[in-house]
Amino acid sequence: MNMIKIVVPGDLLDDKPVHIEHAIIENDKTYATVLGSYDEEKKRLVPLEGLWYPVQGDIIIGIVDEEKLNSYSVNLNAPYKGIIVSKFVETQLQNGDVVEATVKEVDKTGTAVLVRSRKLFGGKIIKAKPSKVPRIIGKQDTMLRQLSDGTKATIKVGRNGIIWMKGGDVALATEAILRIQEEAHTPGLTDRIKEMLSGNNKV
């Protein structure tokens, strides 16, 4: 079984030399130099800075990319896959469907087991940096409500960085979300986004 584990700088990856990115070899052993996800079978280390790691209770937006015998595989915009067990799905899914779901647990392979899945019909998806998702949502959902009210669009933000939008002014919502992402670290952002959505944008 393919094993994926989270490692931090200095963690032992292998008892023998493995020449891969983001790792060093000392005394014929291989050590990680970054926080990352290490695939022990493929000998691949993916840095996790700015990436999303599934946590129980996270609400995600994903894209079905494979239908299996008793489950669906879901692309989560991460080094990890999601899986939905077919018997818990109310509406049959197919490749390309966009779903909203909750992470129940993460198994030993790093796969996120998803529950309470719901198919999202139509709409548009964009991808944001997962590290910026808290700012896009805002404290007590304040920024997300401002986006929805200002654009009259239905907006669902996944903790994994995939955002689904439908109805209203989706183009304006997209522009605002990208601006939030770029200016997340700056003061006065809430007021600037409010002005932008009201048509009085001042750069």
**Residue-wise pLDDT tens for the chain (203 aa)?**
557 788 878 899 999 999 998 889 999 999 988 778 888 888 988 776 667 878 899 999 999 999 988 999 999 988 789 999 998 888 889 999 999 999 999 888 779 999 999 999 999 999 998 888 989 999 889 999 999 999 999 999 999 999 999 999 999 999 999 999 888 878 889 999 999 998 744 44
Domain hosting residue 34, numbered range: 4-47
Report the domain count for the chain: 3
Asked if residue 101 is part of any domain, the answer here is yes
Asked if residue 13 is part of any domain, the answer here is yes
Provide the 3-class DSSP secondary structure of residue 174. helix
Give yes or no: residues 113 and 93 share one domain: yes
Give yes or no: residues 148 and 190 share one domain: yes
State how far the Cα of 34 lies from the Cα of 7, in Å rounded to an integer: 8
Farthest-apart Cα atoms in the chain, separation: 62
Final residue of a structural domain among 120, 139, 157: 120
Give yes or no: residues 37 and 66 share one domain: no
- CATH code at position 101: 2.40.50.140
Give yes or no: residues 86 and 37 share one domain: no
Give yes or no: residues 138 and 180 share one domain: yes
The helix, strand and coil proportions of the chain, stated in percent and rounded to the nearest 5, come to 25, 35, 40
Asked if residue 189 is part of any domain, the answer here is yes
State how far the Cα of 100 lies from the Cα of 62, in Å rounded to an integer: 7
Do residues 103 and 56 touch, judged by C-beta distance below 8 A? yes
Phi, psi angles (nearest 5°) of residue 120: -105, 120
Asked if residue 144 is part of any domain, the answer here is yes
